[in-house]
Structure 1
Amino acid sequence: MDTTRNTALEAWMAEHGFSSNSLAAAVNRAVEQLTGRPGGLDGSSVRAWKAGRVMWPKSLTRKALEDVTGLSAVALGFVPRSRTTSTPASPHQEDSDMKRRTLVGGIVAAAASAATPSTAWPRRIGMSDVDRLQKRFTEIIASDQRHGGRLGLEQRAAALADDALNLQNAGTATQRVRNSLYASAAAFRSSAMWAAIDSRRYDVAEAHMREAQALAEMSSDQAIKFRIWSHAGTLYRHMGRPADSLAANDVARNLHLTRRDPLFACLGHARQAASLGLTNDTTAVRHALACAQEALERADPGLARPVWMTAVRNGAELETLALAAHLRLGNFAQAETHAHRSLALLHPQMRRDRAINTARLAAAQLGQRDIEPAIATAMKVPSDIAAQHARVTRMLRGFGTALRATAPRSAAVRTWAEHAATWTTTA
């Protein structure tokens, strides 16, 4: 069947910086706003529109597309199935079309009540909008560092990801701005993913991960791609899936960003070492940590980097991941050394990481049968974090189990049980 290309749609997409994939994603979100369930379009659907193979999309898809563009389907070059060149539209049809265009124009430009409908976008989206999103992202990171992955933080991050995506449809923008908006959405979604990992809600974390990965691809932002794949490695490590963890870390480590900036290489090697701890391969762990240390020493401290790289810059994250790796291997003396180093380097506001590494230090001391120091260390974990943070709670319960196995009839067991009772009752 002969088809005629939809040049009107192609022109609109070119003007507003949409690819086939990004327009499909925007329409899917508009469908979700209309129905509560996301649409099922992909890039091939939009390419079929452009090629003229689909001349009149389904009614729900048309409505979503009109909401995204602010134009009627006819203005976008689509041809109703019932329309022919010899049959003019009825007055009723024309009146309905005018009402629809007026309504769509009102949705897209609610503040411009006197504006001519449907052809004008309300404003131009710029880097100042991206900067405002970046400030909110900094707030999310700060909250994560203080409190860890709570459900409220996950929900705020996910909502901000949606806000960043909604800006794509709020006005015109350059391709640079659009890429930055996708990067912001991916960054927020990756924080939602991290919060779900931190609260041990792994199925939810995987869902966040898939959306974050798709957004990162549309952004072409190497740093956020690194963060997402590196978090994926951590997710699979916590799930006890070493092969998947190592594979995800390899994706992050093979991004060309790691060759441009050794600090990203340092983090990649360090997280690989933590994953290798699951394999009981001490030689591989030591090699990965040596590569991480060498990369840290090569890194330029003056380069601007994302806010979530703060703990990597001064070596605190390297010490934290080395601690995790050696603790997993049962190298308790080395784990204790890295624990002390990490706690010395972590910034005071990073309460969640300090609590986790304090619990790990206690486990390392108990592994060396230093029972009294281990209990004293474990009791330093703030009770609010011990009660409310899923990872910390699990670690301290594991500490109690190991303590009872190590010194079953010791007075230390009673001491710990009495202390744990002060926070388990509020967990």
Structure 2
Amino acid sequence: MKERGLSAGALAEHVNDAMADLTGHRGAVTERTVYRWLSGENRSPQDRQWQALEAVSGLPGTDLGFVPRARPRPATPSARLEDPVLGRRSFISVATGAAVAVSTGTATAATRPIVGHSDVDRLRVLLAELWLLDDQNGGGPVLEKRAADLAARTLSLQQHGSASQRVRSRLYAVAASFTAFAMFSAIDARRLGEAQRYLEQSVTLAGLSGDGQVQHQTWRYAAMLAGQRGRYADALAAAEACTGTRAHRTDPLYASLTHSRIALTAASLGDKTRALRALDRAHGAYDRADPAEARPSSVAFYTRGELHGLTGITHYRLGEAEKAEFHAHRCIADLRDDQHRNRAYYLSQAALAQVAQGDVEQAVATATRVIAPTGADAGRVPHLLGSFTSALNQAAPKSAVTRQWNDRTRTA
């Protein structure tokens, strides 16, 4: 029970379901029955209960600590079938790149693998690994597909595994997080049609999970997607939806994320007063946040440096290039060494701010430091560099440094 995250009530329900599959009649095991087994008051369960316990656990009754009754017992389904926990053992191999084996089609409670909290924790490790790769190289089709595959496999465990209600909620949350990651990767690669499809799936899964952190993540990405499509009213509505999540209400870090997203969108709408007010709230909430608090890997990127980066983009959209450059440099100085994509992104933002101030030579020197993430030929960083090239040619079309930059980008 401890290993698989089952309460006494949850185990009782699993046993009752297994009895229904074995005999056609659902059992009447209760929490009290389970407590009697745990205490040793009842060390010889009834035949149907014994068979159901073996089917649910995949272990002989004697290994569970029970004493057989005097008369011989019939062979149980678990003795004739493959180990019911084979699906769980196969699932563990995902971490080393092997395929996930999941029951399909006609699985019953007697043959379904039991899914516990430890399985969910292994999934979350895989999710954290995806975010680390994203920090290093940015999103793209490869990470997008990997996340989508893991989301599908998680949902297969949800559909074909046997789990407590708490574990099922966590499975929905992880599936929503994998789908949201796939959406973020699609946004990063500017595959907006695919991102919209992932958004619809993620909203549904996040709602089923009841997890405020995952719901906050999904609405943040919805705001990003709408912003990339130029639908700023929708982007603002999605950012405001974050305020209704439990994560926003209870964790100042999430509240800071909410306000920084509102600031970006308000700036795009030309609402300077609201944008600056949201920035003040974002910085104030971040000051109240506990950086040591355990949080999902999806918000590990959000450091004070990242807040400065988003602040710089907001000022750039408001036409305040000098402030934008200041905050971009504050961000770059605070980035972790492994955040290659973000460094390239904010260097590009700094270069845009410099060319907006007419400092074209420094702008080109800054843009030259940008190394786009590996394989990122159609993502946010290359798109920003394209915007920089356009701005540079508009600001100083006949400058020698502009000609050199154009030659460099053509060669690249």
TM-score, length-scaled by structure 2: 0.74
Using the aligned pairs only, state the percent identity. 38
Alignment partner of 1:182 is 2:172: yes
Q: Where do residues 14-413 of structure 1 align in structure 2 (5 Å cutoff)?
A: 15=13, 118=108, 120-312=110-302, 314-383=303-372, 388-413=377-402
Change (3 A) 1:119 1:167: closer
C-alpha separation in 1, matches of 2:375 and 2:130: 21
Aligned partner letter, 1:220: G
C-alpha separation in 1, matches of 2:155 and 2:25: 22
Does the 8 Å CA contact 2:341/2:373 hold for their aligned counterparts? no
State the match for 1:8 in structure 2: none
Aligned partner letter, 2:393: R
C-alpha separation in 1, matches of 2:207 and 2:117: 20
Aligned partner letter, 1:388: D
Change (3 A) 1:118 1:242: closer
Paired residue total: 332
Does the 8 Å CA contact 2:188/2:379 hold for their aligned counterparts? yes
Does the 8 Å CA contact 1:108/1:122 hold for their aligned counterparts? no
Does the 8 Å CA contact 2:232/2:268 hold for their aligned counterparts? yes
Change (3 A) 1:324 1:170: same
**3-state SS of paired residue (2:398):** coil
C-alpha separation in 1, matches of 2:225 and 2:231: 9
Does the 8 Å CA contact 1:352/1:385 hold for their aligned counterparts? no
Aligned partner letter, 1:216: A
Cα-to-partner distance string for 1:113-171 (whole Å, 9 max, x where unaligned): xxxx9551343211110011011001110111111121011000000001111112343
Q: CA deviation at 1:366?
A: 0.2
C-alpha separation in 2, matches of 1:183 and 1:118: 24
TM-score, length-scaled by structure 1: 0.72
C-alpha separation in 2, matches of 1:147 and 1:76: 55
Change (3 A) 1:235 1:16: farther
Does the 8 Å CA contact 1:332/1:365 hold for their aligned counterparts? yes
Q: CA deviation at 1:211?
A: 0.5
Q: CA deviation at 1:387?
A: 5.5
List gaps (5 residues or longer) in structure 1: 1-11, 18-68, 78-101
C-alpha separation in 2, matches of 1:386 and 1:160: 22
Q: Single out whichever of 180-189 and 410-419 deviates more from structure 2.
A: 410-419
Q: CA deviation at 1:303?
A: 1.3
List gaps (5 residues or longer) in structure 2: 1-9, 27-76, 88-106
Does the 8 Å CA contact 2:114/2:162 hold for their aligned counterparts? yes
C-alpha separation in 1, matches of 2:25 and 2:236: 47
Does the 8 Å CA contact 1:385/1:392 hold for their aligned counterparts? no
Aligned partner letter, 1:145: D
Q: Single out whichever of 341-350 and 267-276 deviates more from structure 2.
A: 341-350
C-alpha separation in 1, matches of 2:293 and 2:373: 36
Does the 8 Å CA contact 2:144/2:183 hold for their aligned counterparts? yes
Aligned partner letter, 1:316: G
C-alpha separation in 1, matches of 2:329 and 2:212: 33
Does the 8 Å CA contact 2:183/2:199 hold for their aligned counterparts? yes
State the match for 1:50 in structure 2: none
Change (3 A) 1:16 1:315: farther
Change (3 A) 1:270 1:126: same
Change (3 A) 1:75 1:418: farther
Q: CA deviation at 1:316?
A: 2.2
Please give the root-mean-square deviation of Cα atoms over the aligned residues, in Å.
3.1
C-alpha separation in 1, matches of 2:329 and 2:400: 27
Cα-to-partner distance string for 1:293-330 (whole Å, 9 max, x where unaligned): 11011112221111121232x31221121122111122
Q: CA deviation at 1:379?
A: 0.4
Aligned partner letter, 1:158: A
**3-state SS of paired residue (1:403):** helix
Change (3 A) 1:280 1:136: same
Change (3 A) 1:411 1:225: same
Change (3 A) 1:120 1:278: same
